[in-house]
Amino acid sequence: MTEQGTNDDIKIINTGCCHDCGGRCVLRAHVKDGKIIRFETDNSEEPQIRACMRGRAYRQRVYHPDRLKYPLRRVGERGEGRFEQITWDEALDEVASKLLEIKEKYGNPSILLMAGGGNQGMIHGVVPVGLMLNQFGGYTRFWGAPSYEGALFSSMATYGTITTGSAREDLLNSKFIEEYKRDNEIYYKITNEGEDELMIRIKNVSALKRLVHRLVVTFDGLLGGSVINEKIQSKSISGYTLSYKDYVFALLSINWRLNRMFNAGNEVKSLTPDKNMSFGNTLDYNAEKYADRPALLYEDIKYTHKELNEWMNRYANYFLSLGLKKGDVINVLLENRPELLIVIGAMAKIGTIASLINTRQRSSSLIHSLRLNKIKAYVIGEELYHAFENVKADLGLTSKERLYFLKDKGNMVIPEGFIDLKEEAKDQDISTPTVINEIRGIDPYAYIFTSGTTGLPKAAPMRHIHMMGAI
């Protein structure tokens, strides 16, 4: 391939940016006589991620005089900076022999892997090297992260993961929003005339269809589904407005399944956060459409969509028989296992809220989280019974709060004062409770716990409309 308008001896080679920023943007290297003379990114008109100035300056890195290009072995004392060049075979043989020697003398725990830096890739990053050392018998790795340890620890301690963030509806409280790398087929502006409005300008019909498929939402007071469908067919629409609030809730619905949003007439159905909906409806849909397909695999346990949904309905109908209702909160202290999903799904079908207690909490922080909401019942897993029992006396429990026990490995008898939840629910009706129709998208199905602002966790609601995009 040659560069347009230049000599034929200049080749353009497509590659990617190796900086560890996550973008992996396209770079196009212009090569002459085996040497890169310049880099550019992909400058075509299609919406995409384009390389930043750091990526475009990659040539300086490739040809920097201090760049290491060969294996070097130290020949002087530490700190003297004296090295000699050796071959790759010599380097690999020396590393391999040292690893074997250290393993034999001290064992695998004496091998520390500290991979990092700003250019991790598929060969020399922590994952492939770690896989190699696992095959070698194991290794020790460092704990934490020097650059963002505070954020990492608080997120892991609170959520058990670092893939977290603010709820999207919290955008409504923002006075200023700056977005990077936005799809440039869709432009918008927020006006100051009366209520804030969002103008979506659409370049063509295919872009409109992509927009509808991305937002899959038409709000009451905006345009009826039949109107949009008619305008799509007539190719006459060029833009429309919706309130900023509606736009934010449209973002919440991006992942809503298309086959649930388009009816036989291909008209867009209305979906608002105030509309009656539960992610339990999605579970019912999956149970009907994918009845015998695997829905959950856990160790040697397998549930089909139908089986999983039936167990959720059993639990849901049992909770209803106890008088639990929409808005009631149940503390759930379970590790990740099928029963956790079943309990959450069951509660979602009747509108009760699962307060998902961080399983790593103990003593005062656990007491705080367990007492944070007005609780109707507790669901405690066998694996966390002792953690709960250690703080039970400080919770001020009365006879009104029911205590439910869910076996894990089955090594414990049901503790005194607890009810075997699975045993009680196993013979309940397997049909979906009709109260599911009273649940709205804006209603919470669970509370998760943030790090708070006082050093103690704070409950944050997760709403049905959030979960519907995930399943």
What is the model's pLDDT at position 330?
97
What is the model's pLDDT at position 15?
86
Question: Is the entire prediction scored with pTM above 0.75?
Answer: no
Residue 174 lies in a domain: no
What is the model's pLDDT at position 264?
29
Beta bridge partners of 387: none
Q: How large is the average pLDDT for residues 264-273?
A: 38
Same domain, residue pair 301 and 379: yes
Same domain, residue pair 228 and 353: no
Residue 69 lies in a domain: no
Above 80 in pLDDT, residue 64? yes
Candidates 152, 412, 258; CA nearest to 420 is 412
Alpha helical stretches, state H, 141-237: 149-159, 205-215, 225-234
Candidates 62, 61, 55, 45; CA nearest to 23 is 55
Q: How large is the average pLDDT for residues 39-66?
A: 80
Q: Of 38-47, 220-229, 365-374, 433-442, where does mean pLDDT reach its minimum?
A: 220-229
Same domain, residue pair 300 and 247: no
Above 70 in pLDDT, residue 96? yes
Q: How large is the average pLDDT for residues 24-34?
A: 88
Work out the number of other CB atoms within 10 angstroms of the CB of residue 422.
16
Q: Cα torsion at 425, 427, 430, 432 (round to 10°)?
A: -40
What is the model's pLDDT at position 14?
87
Residue 196 lies in a domain: yes
pLDDT band at 471 (very low <50, low <70, confident <90, very high): low
3-state SS class at 84: strand
Residue 150 lies in a domain: no
pLDDT band at 385 (very low <50, low <70, confident <90, very high): very high
Same domain, residue pair 329 and 447: yes
Residue 26 lies in a domain: yes
Residue with the bigger pLDDT between 163 and 293: it is 293
Last residue of a domain, one of 141, 158, 190: 141
Residue 80 lies in a domain: yes
Where residue 330 sits, what CATH number does that domain have?
A: 3.40.50.12780
Above 90 in pLDDT, residue 253? no
What is the model's pLDDT at position 185?
37
What is the model's pLDDT at position 172?
60
What is the model's pLDDT at position 170?
63
Residue 362 lies in a domain: yes
Same domain, residue pair 236 and 102: no
Residue with tokens 């196009």: 28
What is the model's pLDDT at position 263?
32
User: How many domains does the chain contain in total?
Assistant: 4
pLDDT band at 109 (very low <50, low <70, confident <90, very high): confident
Same domain, residue pair 79 and 111: yes
DSSP assignments along 322-368, one per residue: TT--TT-EEEEE--SSHHHHHHHHHHHHHT-EEEE--TT--HHHHHH
Last residue of a domain, one of 195, 227, 261: 261
Average pLDDT, the chain: 75
Same domain, residue pair 87 and 57: no
Residue with the bigger pLDDT between 112 and 3: it is 112
Same domain, residue pair 246 and 350: no
Last residue of a domain, one of 113, 141, 169: 141
Rounded to the nearest 5 degrees, what angle is found at the Cα of 60, between the Cα atoms of 58 and 181? Answer: 30
Residue 122 domain boundaries: 75-141
What is the model's pLDDT at position 94?
94
Residue pLDDT, tens place only, 329-380: 999 999 999 999 999 999 999 999 999 998 988 888 899 999 988 999 999 9
Same domain, residue pair 250 and 310: no
pLDDT band at 307 (very low <50, low <70, confident <90, very high): very high
Rounded to the nearest 5 degrees, what angle is found at the Cα of 454, between the Cα atoms of 453 and 459? Answer: 65
pLDDT band at 92 (very low <50, low <70, confident <90, very high): very high
Same domain, residue pair 88 and 51: no
Q: Of 83-97, 147-161, 162-176, 335-349, where does mean pLDDT reach its minimum?
A: 162-176
Residue 70 lies in a domain: no
What is the model's pLDDT at position 204?
41
Give the highest mean pLDDT range of 233-237, 250-254, 302-306. 302-306
Residue pLDDT, tens place only, 122-157: 556 677 788 888 888 888 877 666 667 777 777 777
Where residue 40 sits, what CATH number does that domain have?
A: 2.20.25.90
pLDDT band at 287 (very low <50, low <70, confident <90, very high): very high
Same domain, residue pair 284 and 313: yes
Residue with the bigger pLDDT between 310 and 115: it is 310
Same domain, residue pair 288 and 415: yes
